[in-house]
Amino acid sequence: MPHGTQLSLFLGATLVFLLTPGPAVLYIVARSVSQGRAAGLASVAGVEAGNLVHAAAAALGLSSLLVASSLAFGVVKYLGAAYLIWLGLRTLLARAPAAGVAGDATAAAPRAWAAVRQGFVVAVLNPKTALFFLAFLPQFADPHAGPLAPQLLLLGVTFVAMAFVTDAGYALLSGAISPWLLRRRGVASGARALTGATYIGLGLLAAFASDQRK
């Protein structure tokens, strides 16, 4: 386990990073505003589950294989971008829900599971997350404190746990205005359009972002 100083530096650096909104936060906020707090929190759970996969892969050295292969990196990158664009198009083309549907308890569970699943896929198909964990976590591991893999896994799990808390905060804040929006058909349609555009924008950003593996 990293010693106290390294662990403190890791916690501080992680907090600074997490308080700087990135694509994942935009995705979560868009989901929370358009579908409500429950869907936003479900998206957080999915995203962080996907991030756990990347953290475990970094600890086991599997991420280095993805980063080393231009083909594999590109395939995952464009699959993730295409998935986000597909989500955006589906959101834009979806029919506006009838009054009262947003609060229908019978639809809440399927919507939540869909949000978890979609958040997980979005996170897993983001090779930049694999690159981030591969570059970030080893800086705080101590080779003299024991095997590196358990240290990296512990750091990764800690990062994801902190990310869950901060991302859930974004979901709760943005979800707080969702009921007000969903009660107004015109505003709700605008929010849905903005959500779809956000997904598409994130997908295009992922597709055309420069390869920073080096």
Structural domain contains residue 15: yes
Structural domain contains residue 195: yes
Structural domain contains residue 78: yes
| pLDDT given for residue 3 in this prediction | 66
- Is the pTM higher than 0.85? The answer reads no
Total number of domains in the chain? 1
**Beta strands in 144-213, from DSSP E residues, in sequence order:** none
Pick from 160, 173, 200: nearest CA to 58: 160
Structural contact between residues 198 and 26, judged by C-beta atoms closer than 8 angstroms: yes
Instruction: Reply yes or no on whether the pLDDT at 171 is more than 70.
Output: yes
Domain span at residue 196? 4-208
CA distance 211 to 68: 12
Residues with Cβ < 8 Å from 33, sequence gap 6 or more? 40, 174, 175, 177, 178, 181, 191, 194, 195
| pLDDT given for residue 77 in this prediction | 83
Mean pLDDT, range 19-23, rounded to an integer: 85
CATH classification at residue 98:
1.20.1250
Structural domain contains residue 67: yes
CA distance 148 to 134: 12
Structural domain contains residue 103: yes
pLDDT tens per residue across span 57-86: 988 887 777 667 777 778 888 888 898 898
Better pLDDT: 118 or 210:
118
| pLDDT given for residue 102 in this prediction | 43
Instruction: Reply yes or no on whether the pLDDT at 146 is more than 70.
Output: yes
Structural domain contains residue 214: no
pLDDT tens per residue across span 47-57: 999 999 999 99
Helix ranges (H only) for 4-98 are 4-18, 23-35, 37-60, 62-68, 70-93
Structural domain contains residue 213: no
| pLDDT given for residue 67 in this prediction | 67
Sign, Cα dihedral of 30, 163, 134, 64: negative
Structural domain contains residue 68: yes
CA distance 153 to 149: 6
CA distance 159 to 48: 10
What the block records as the tokens of 49 is: 């589950």
